[in-house]
């Protein structure tokens, strides 16, 4: 009996010892796994830190660029906006072109740009075919024949003091700008500057003094436009009518039909306005003015 108790107690002690050993080994393995995970997470964090620094620097750079853009927008707003800058550039361009034309220079300004709101551009170019200093070549000048007996006393050769010097060329005066074109230009420039009173005066003088000029139809249309802009609709309607009747083949005629119809509408003459618009559509069906006339008829039934 004592022997059985001894063996059972011994067995219990062995089992307890084995269980404690297993628990110690499992806890040691778990601690090792936790240490590995901590080291792995620490490595990942160290790898993320440079990337976070790059992102932060990019965000700061974007903020600086945004502040610069805001400053540029504020400067643009203070200058009057994009339209004001475009108008200023166009005014400078017009002034340079006027200097170029009046002084017969070649400033290489490219194609002219029309300011916003101007209905048309001058349909002329500076006069060509007039000889200038650049077109006069030495070959076109008479060359002296030194010692020619047929000449009285014979032409004497130049002295040795002037040999190798270029022969003096006659001074050719630069052609002055045509007064009629200058007057027309003055009217166009005043119109583009919205100085309609001065523009109307220039075009009236042009029509009075240059009745056979090739720009007379454009001047007449501009005169009507000045009156229209000044709300002188009755006078403008008569001026547009002059374009229609006197210059039916002018490029300004479709616009004259359209604007006269609008004048009639402003004067509460709806029937006359409708008739003019219908005539425009019939005579110039493919013009932009005809498309505007169709829109006018739809919205003013």
pLDDT of residue 30: 62
Instruction: Supply the DSSP symbol for 165.
Output: S
For 185-201, the pLDDT digits (tens) are 999 999 999 999 999 99
Q: What is the mean pLDDT of residues 51-78?
A: 71
pLDDT interval class at 4 (50, 70, 90): low
**Number of domains comprising the chain:** 1
Q: Look at residue 116 and tell me if it is in a domain.
A: no
Q: Look at residue 20 and tell me if it is in a domain.
A: no
76-112 per-residue burial string, b: 16 or more CB within 10 A, e: under 16:
eeeeeeeeeeebeebeebbeebeeebeebeeeeeeee
For 243-259, the pLDDT digits (tens) are 999 999 999 999 999 99
DSSP string of 182-210, one letter each residue = HHHHHHHHHHHTT-HHHHHHHHHHHHHH-
For 280-299, the pLDDT digits (tens) are 999 999 999 999 999 999 99
Q: Look at residue 224 and tell me if it is in a domain.
A: yes
pLDDT of residue 5: 60
Residue 239: name the closest of 255, 178, 92 by CA. Answer: 255
How far is it, in rounded angstroms, from Cα 297 to Cα 153? 87
Sign (positive or negative) of CA dihedral 127, 128, 133, 134: positive
How far is it, in rounded angstroms, from Cα 287 to Cα 208? 31
Which structure tokens are listed for 138? 């030495």
| 255 or 4: which leads in pLDDT | 255
When mean pLDDT is compared over 15-24, 125-134, 142-151, the highest value belongs to 15-24
* CA distance to 58, 114, 169, 233, 247, per residue, from 230 (Å): 57, 21, 54, 8, 24
- Report the Cα–Cα distance between both ends of the chain, in Å, rounded: 128
Assign residue 197 the CATH number of its domain. 1.25.40.10
Q: Which residues form the domain of 235?
A: 177-301
Q: What percent of the chain stands above pLDDT 90?
A: 40
pLDDT interval class at 207 (50, 70, 90): very high
Residue 107: name the closest of 94, 117, 97, 119 by CA. Answer: 97
pLDDT interval class at 266 (50, 70, 90): very high
CB 204 within 8 A of CB 227: no
CB 281 within 8 A of CB 290: yes
pLDDT interval class at 50 (50, 70, 90): low
Residues in the chain, total:
301
What rounded mean pLDDT belongs to the chain?
74
Q: Look at residue 198 and tell me if it is in a domain.
A: yes
For 29-43, the pLDDT digits (tens) are 666 677 777 777 777
Q: Look at residue 298 and tell me if it is in a domain.
A: yes
Q: What angle do CA 29, 31, 37 make, to 5 degrees?
A: 105
Q: Look at residue 253 and tell me if it is in a domain.
A: yes
Q: Look at residue 152 and tell me if it is in a domain.
A: no
Q: Check whether 25 has a pLDDT greater than 90.
A: no
pLDDT of residue 267: 96
Three-state DSSP state, 217: helix
Q: Look at residue 284 and tell me if it is in a domain.
A: yes
pLDDT of residue 89: 75
* CA distance to 65, 102, 150, 167, 225, per residue, from 176 (Å): 53, 7, 41, 27, 29
Three-state DSSP state, 123: coil
Instruction: Supply the DSSP symbol for 118.
Output: -
pLDDT of residue 109: 55
Q: What is the mean pLDDT of residues 119-148?
A: 41
For 84-131, the pLDDT digits (tens) are 777 777 776 776 666 556 554 455 555 554 444 444 444 343 333 333
């Amino acid at each position: 009996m004592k022997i059985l108790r001894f063996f059972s107690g011994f067995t219990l002690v062995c089992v307890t010892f084995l269980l404690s050993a297993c628990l110690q080994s499992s806890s040691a393995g778990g601690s090792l796994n936790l240490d590995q995970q901590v080291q792995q997470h620490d490595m990942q964090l160290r790898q993320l830190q440079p990337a976070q620094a790059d992102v932060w620097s990019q965000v700061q750079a974007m903020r600086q660029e945004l502040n610069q853009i805001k400053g540029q927008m504020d400067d643009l707003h203070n200058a009057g906006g994009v339209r004001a800058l475009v108008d200023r550039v166009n005014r400078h361009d017009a002034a340079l072109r006027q200097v170029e034309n009046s002084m017969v220079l070649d400033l290489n300004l490219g194609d002219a740009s029309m300011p916003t709101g101007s209905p048309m551009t001058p349909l002329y170019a500076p006069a060509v075919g007039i000889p200038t200093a650049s077109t006069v070549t030495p070959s076109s000048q008479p060359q002296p024949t030194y010692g020619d007996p047929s000449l009285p006393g014979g032409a004497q050769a130049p002295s040795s003091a002037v040999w190798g010097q270029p022969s003096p060329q006659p001074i050719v005066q630069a052609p002055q700008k045509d007064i009629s074109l200058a007057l027309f230009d003055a009217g166009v420039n005043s119109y583009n500057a919205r100085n309609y009173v001065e523009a109307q005066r220039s075009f009236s003088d042009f029509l009075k003094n240059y009745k056979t000029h090739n720009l007379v139809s454009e001047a007449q249309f501009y005169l009507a436009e000045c009156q229209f802009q000044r709300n002188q609709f009755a006078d403008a309607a008569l001026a547009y009518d002059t374009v229609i009747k006197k210059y039916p083949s002018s490029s300004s005629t479709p616009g004259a039909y359209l604007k006269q119809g609008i004048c009639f509408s402003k004067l509460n003459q709806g029937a006359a306005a409708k008739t003019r618009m219908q005539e425009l559509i019939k005579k110039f069906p493919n013009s932009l003015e005809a498309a505007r006339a169709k829109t006018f008829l739809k919205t003013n039934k």
